[in-house]
Structure 1
Amino acid sequence: MKLDQIHKVYFLGIGGIGMSALARWFKHNGKNVSGYDRTETALTKQLQAEGFDIHFEENLNLIDDKVKEDKERTLVVYTPAIPKNHGEWMWFQLQGYTIMKRSQVLGVITQNMKSVAVAGTHGKTTTTSMIVHLLKSCGIDCTGFLGGISANYNTNMVLNENKDSIAVIEADEFDRSFLTLHPNIAVVTATDADHLDIYGDKSHLEESFRLFVKQIKENGKLFVKNEIAKGVVTDETLDVSLYGFKGEGISAKNFRIEEASFVFDYQNGATNIEGIRLNVPGYHNVENMLAAISVTDLLGGDGEAIKTAVSSYRGVKRRFEYIIKTDALTYIDDYAHHPVEIEALLKSVRDLYPNKKITAIFQPHLFSRTRDFAAEFAESLSLADELIMLDIYPARELPMEGVTSEIILKDVKLEQKQIVAKEALVDTVLASKPEVLLTIGAGDIDKMVQPLKESLL
C-alpha cells in the first residue's frame, strides 16, 4: 500500500487512544478521515470538535458516502477490539476494501522515516512522551504517536512541522503489534509478565521482545533497562546501551528529593548533565527519563536544552497525575494496572509523603489479568495504608467463574480494606478522610476522578 494513493481513511474504533492518534496524523497530512466508535467519550468529542465525522451506531447508512463511492482510494483501519460479527467490519470485507490493523498502518507510515520506537510492558507511554518533549524542546522536529494524552501538548498525536521529521512511536506488545516496526533507535523499558491471554507465559512474551529488537535497522541503536538486557538482547553485533536507576550503564548520579521533585546528574560516559530536576514523581520516571535523555543526546540535543526540557516536562494524563495538591490533601490519579506498576507507584508515594495515610482505590483490569496476578496484586496493594477496591473492569473479556476482586482483597495485608460499588465510592472516600488518595487502574475508574475531586475540594 502506498500512502499517496490513499485519499480517504475510515476508522473502526476511532475513539481508541492509538487509533485517534493515527486519525489525527492522516487528517494533518491531507486525508479525508471519518469513523465509527461504540461509545461517545471526551476524546471522540474532541475529535469531532477538530472536524472528524464520527458516528456511534453500527449502521451502514451512517458511513460517509465518499468512503462508499471510492473503494480503490480508501483505507479502512480497525482495532482488534472490533467484534468479528460487526456489521460495518463485515461489509467492508465483503466489498473488498483495503483493511489493515492499526499496528500495520503505523509500520507503513514510519517505514521510510527515521524512527524511535519505545517498547515495554510498562513505561512506554511516559517514555515516548518524554522523548517527544525533549526533542521538540531541543529544536529537533518529530512526529509523536502516543498511547496517552501528553500534559504538555494536550494530545496523543504531536504533529511534525517538516516531512523529514523523526517518528517517535509507542510500540505496543499487545497482540505482537510492535513486530510491524523497523526502528533506527529502540528503547525497551520492561518485560514483566503481562498479556498472558495472548502469550501464555513470560518466556513467549520475552521472545516477542527479542524479535522486536532484531528488527532494529542496520547501524541502529538499542537502549534497554539494565536488569532485563540478558532476556532481550541476543545479537552481539547490535549497538546496545544499558540504563537504570542502579547498576551498570547510564545512571542517575547524586540523586536526591527536593521539594517533592527528583534531582540528579545524568552520565553516559561522554555526556554529563548536572542538576537535572524532574517534577513528575516516581522512581520509575527517573529511569524513563534516563532513556529519553539518552535518545535525545544521541540525536544531537544540547545538554542545557535537555536540562531545561526535563524541568518543563509535565507528564501524561493518568500517569502520576496530581488532581489535588494542598496541605490538607494530595490526590493522585494513575493508570497502573500491573502489580509491578502499582508497587513502583506506592513506593514513590510513600517516600514523597512518609508521614501521611495513603488510601488507594483500585479497579482491576481484565478477568484474566486478575486471575493470573491475584497474589502479586495483593502484595503490591498492601503497601498502602487503606484499600478500597472496585469490581473488575472487563474490557474485551467475558466474566470468568470465580474471578472477582475478592480473590485479590482476601490476601491484602491491611486491616482497612473493602470492596465497594462505584455508586458508593464518593461517600466511602469522604468517610475515610484521606490524606493521600490514589485512584489506580486502566478501566473506567477515570470517570470517578472528577466526582471525587469535586466532593473533596
Structure 2
Amino acid sequence: MIYFIGIKGTGMAALACILHDLGEEVAGSDLTKHFFTEEPLIARNIRIDEFTKENIKDGMTVIIGNAFGEDFEEVIAARANKSVTCYRYHEYLGILMSRYISISVAGSHGKTTTTGMLSAMMDTVFPTGYLIGDGTGVIHEDSKYLCVESCEYRRHFLAYKPDYAIITNVEIDHVDYFKSDEDYRHAYEEFSKNIKKTCVICGDDSEARKLELACDHIWYGEGENNDLRAINIVEGTTGMEFDVMFKGEFQYRYHLPFVGRHLMWNSLAVIGIGMLEGLTPEVIEEGLCSFKGVKRRFVIEEVGNNVFIDDYAHHPTEVSITIDAARKRYPDKKLVAIFKPHRVSRVFHFADQFANALLKADEIYLCDFTSIDDKEEGINIDIHYLQEKIPGSKILSEDDQGAAILAKEEPAVYLFMSSKDIYGLANKVKRYQNS
C-alpha cells in the first residue's frame, strides 16, 4: 500500500493517479472539503480518508505532501513506525523519473501550461507519461518518456535528475523561502548540474541570462542573441503564427490555435525539445495543436453575454500576462478582475507590481486571504494593504453577497485569478445570472 498524506494536493493527486495506473494499491488522506484535484482520484476509486494518525498502518510506503510539517500527526505516526518507509513528494517523484527518459519543466511562471503542451506533443509520437501541477497524472504501460512539472520551492526540484529540462524564466518568487534574487538564481544553477543532456532556457529573461549553467543549453526567445528564435509573429483573437529560426537558419512557419504572447514563448520551448528528439516541424506542429489546455490555466466558459475565465495566476507577472491575454481574446468586452492572493509575504513583497498588473483591468475586486498557509510570522497585513495601492478597487466576500455584486457587472469578461479555490465564487455568479 502506498499512502499519500495530503492526497488532494496538485502534485500528490497526479502522482497517486500515476502509481495507481502502474498497478500499485493507492490510498490517502486529506480534508473533506472538495478540491478540483480529487475528481481523477474518485474516477479511479482511490480511497480518500479524513486525517487521523490511525490511517498509518504497518508496512506502508507513505508519501508526505510538502505542505505538511514534521509535527503533523500522520507524519509523526509514519516516521515513528519502523515498518513504514517514508518519502517526501519530491523525493519519491525523483525516483520515479529515473525509470524513464525524463523532461523537467521548471521556471517561475508557465510551468503547468508548458508541461501540458510538451506532453501533448510528445504523446502524439511516443507513449508519454506526464505529471502536471493541475492534479493531472497520466502514464502508459509502455511509456518511454515522463514529463514533469518541477517546482523550485524550497529547492525541491533538486531531487530530480532529468535528461532534458525547460526553464521558462527565473523571476524571483516564494519570497517566504528565497532570500534574494541571487539565492533564487543559485537554486537554478544547482538544478542545471542535474540535467543529463540539454536545457532549453528562455534567453529573453534577464535573470535567466545571469545563470552560470552547468549543462548543455539552448537559449530561446525573440531576441537576436537566442539560438532558437520566433520572428515575424502575427497574433489574432483565435490563434498565432510565427517563423522559427535555429542558429540563423529558417526552420518552419508554425500556425497554432493559441492566444497570448506567453503561449508563443511556451510553444517555442516545446519546439526546442521536439527538435532535440528529432521530430519534424510538421509533427511538432500537429502535437502542439492537439493541446487543449490544462485545469485552472486560462480556462474559458462563455455563458450568454458573459465570459468566465479561471486562471491560477498568483504572481504579478502572471496576473499581467493573464489580463493581456484576456484583452487580446476579447478586445471589445469589459474586463472584471477578481484576485485572491496566496501568502502574505508575496503580497507584501510585490504589492506595487500586483497593483500595476491589476490596473490593466476595467474593474478590480480583491478577496482576502483564507488559506491556512497564507499567514506568516512577522508580516501582519490583510487584503486592505493591497487595496490601498489600487484606486477604485473593491474588497469582495466569497459568498452570495459577493456573487450578487459581481453579477451586476454583466455583460463582462470575469477573470478569476488565484492559486486558491476562487472558482467556487465564479459558480455562484453564474447561478445569480441564470436565476
- What TM-score does the superposition give when structure 2 sets the normalisation length? 0.92
Matches within 5 A, 1:397-412: 397-398=374-375, 402-412=380-390
The one-letter code of the counterpart of 2:195 is: I
Once the 2 structures are TM-superposed, how far is the Cα of residue 266 of structure 1 from its aligned partner? 2.7
Is 1:366–1:393's contact at 8 Å kept on the other side of the alignment? no
**Cα distance change of structure 1 residues 51 and 427 upon mapping to structure 2, 3 Å threshold:** same
Q: Which residue of 1 aligns with 2:70?
A: 84
Q: Which residue of 2 aligns with 1:207?
A: 186
Task: Answer yes or no: is 1:126 the counterpart of 2:113.
Answer: yes
Is 2:387–2:394's contact at 8 Å kept on the other side of the alignment? yes
Three-state SS of the structure 2 residue aligned to 1:199 is coil
Task: Answer yes or no: is 1:104 the counterpart of 2:91.
Answer: yes
Matches within 5 A, 1:382-401: 382-398=359-375
Q: Which residue of 2 aligns with 1:20?
A: 13
Matches within 5 A, 1:70-219: 71=59, 74-96=60-82, 97-137=84-124, 139-148=125-134, 156-162=136-142, 165-217=144-196
Q: Which residue of 2 aligns with 1:5?
A: none
**Cα distance change of structure 1 residues 189 and 393 upon mapping to structure 2, 3 Å threshold:** farther
Once the 2 structures are TM-superposed, how far is the Cα of residue 117 of structure 1 from its aligned partner? 0.6
Alpha-carbon distance between aligned partners in 2 of 1:88 and 1:37, rounded to the nearest angstrom: 11
CA RMSD of aligned residues (A): 2.1
Once the 2 structures are TM-superposed, how far is the Cα of residue 272 of structure 1 from its aligned partner? 1.8
**Cα distance change of structure 1 residues 46 and 313 upon mapping to structure 2, 3 Å threshold:** closer
Alpha-carbon distance between aligned partners in 2 of 1:125 and 1:421, rounded to the nearest angstrom: 28
Q: Deviations along 1:379-434, whole A, 9 cap, x unmatched?
A: 1111111101111233424366641111111112x44x210211122111122224
Once the 2 structures are TM-superposed, how far is the Cα of residue 246 of structure 1 from its aligned partner? 4.1
Q: Provide the aligned length of Structure 1 versus Structure 2.
A: 426
Alpha-carbon distance between aligned partners in 2 of 1:207 and 1:28, rounded to the nearest angstrom: 36
Is 2:163–2:198's contact at 8 Å kept on the other side of the alignment? yes
| Candidates 37, 47, 63, aligned match of 1:43 | 37
Is 1:273–1:307's contact at 8 Å kept on the other side of the alignment? no
Going by fraction, where is helix more abundant, 1 or 2? 1
Is 1:278–1:313's contact at 8 Å kept on the other side of the alignment? no
Q: Which residue of 2 aligns with 1:153?
A: none
Q: Which residue of 1 aligns with 2:295?
A: 317
Once the 2 structures are TM-superposed, how far is the Cα of residue 325 of structure 1 from its aligned partner? 6.4
Is 2:188–2:211's contact at 8 Å kept on the other side of the alignment? yes
Is 1:359–1:436's contact at 8 Å kept on the other side of the alignment? yes
| Candidates 188, 211, 218, aligned match of 1:241 | 218
Alpha-carbon distance between aligned partners in 1 of 2:427 and 2:222, rounded to the nearest angstrom: 34
The one-letter code of the counterpart of 1:210 is: E
Once the 2 structures are TM-superposed, how far is the Cα of residue 271 of structure 1 from its aligned partner? 6.5
| Candidates 246, 257, 261, aligned match of 2:239 | 261
| Candidates 427, 437, 441, aligned match of 2:404 | 427
Once the 2 structures are TM-superposed, how far is the Cα of residue 345 of structure 1 from its aligned partner? 1.4
| Candidates 273, 285, 293, aligned match of 1:295 | 273
The one-letter code of the counterpart of 2:137 is: M
Q: Deviations along 1:286-319, whole A, 9 cap, x unmatched?
A: 1011101111222132321222222232111211
Alpha-carbon distance between aligned partners in 2 of 1:53 and 1:437, rounded to the nearest angstrom: 35
Alpha-carbon distance between aligned partners in 2 of 1:345 and 1:221, rounded to the nearest angstrom: 29
Is 1:213–1:232's contact at 8 Å kept on the other side of the alignment? no
Q: Deviations along 1:190-241, whole A, 9 cap, x unmatched?
A: 1111111111222211110110012112xx1111110243222344xx3211
Once the 2 structures are TM-superposed, how far is the Cα of residue 339 of structure 1 from its aligned partner? 0.5
Q: Which residue of 2 aligns with 1:440?
A: 417
Q: Which residue of 2 aligns with 1:352?
A: 329
**Cα distance change of structure 1 residues 46 and 188 upon mapping to structure 2, 3 Å threshold:** closer
- In the alignment, structure 1 segments of 5+ residues that lack a partner are 1-7, 150-155
Three-state SS of the structure 1 residue aligned to 2:310 is strand
Is 1:364–1:390's contact at 8 Å kept on the other side of the alignment? yes
**Cα distance change of structure 1 residues 291 and 456 upon mapping to structure 2, 3 Å threshold:** farther
Is 2:242–2:253's contact at 8 Å kept on the other side of the alignment? yes
Alpha-carbon distance between aligned partners in 2 of 1:336 and 1:393, rounded to the nearest angstrom: 17
Once the 2 structures are TM-superposed, how far is the Cα of residue 103 of structure 1 from its aligned partner? 0.4
Is 1:189–1:224's contact at 8 Å kept on the other side of the alignment? yes
Three-state SS of the structure 1 residue aligned to 2:37 is helix
Once the 2 structures are TM-superposed, how far is the Cα of residue 456 of structure 1 from its aligned partner? 3.9
Alpha-carbon distance between aligned partners in 1 of 2:72 and 2:3, rounded to the nearest angstrom: 15
Matches within 5 A, 1:357-372: 357-372=334-349
Is 1:395–1:443's contact at 8 Å kept on the other side of the alignment? no
The one-letter code of the counterpart of 2:17 is: R
**Cα distance change of structure 1 residues 301 and 117 upon mapping to structure 2, 3 Å threshold:** same
**Cα distance change of structure 1 residues 230 and 254 upon mapping to structure 2, 3 Å threshold:** closer
Task: Answer yes or no: is 1:222 the counterpart of 2:199.
Answer: yes
Is 1:136–1:142's contact at 8 Å kept on the other side of the alignment? yes
Q: Which residue of 2 aligns with 1:330?
A: 307
The one-letter code of the counterpart of 2:286 is: T
Q: Deviations along 1:229-269, whole A, 9 cap, x unmatched?
A: 3222344xx32111124443222222112343222233324
Task: Answer yes or no: is 1:377 the counterpart of 2:371.
Answer: no
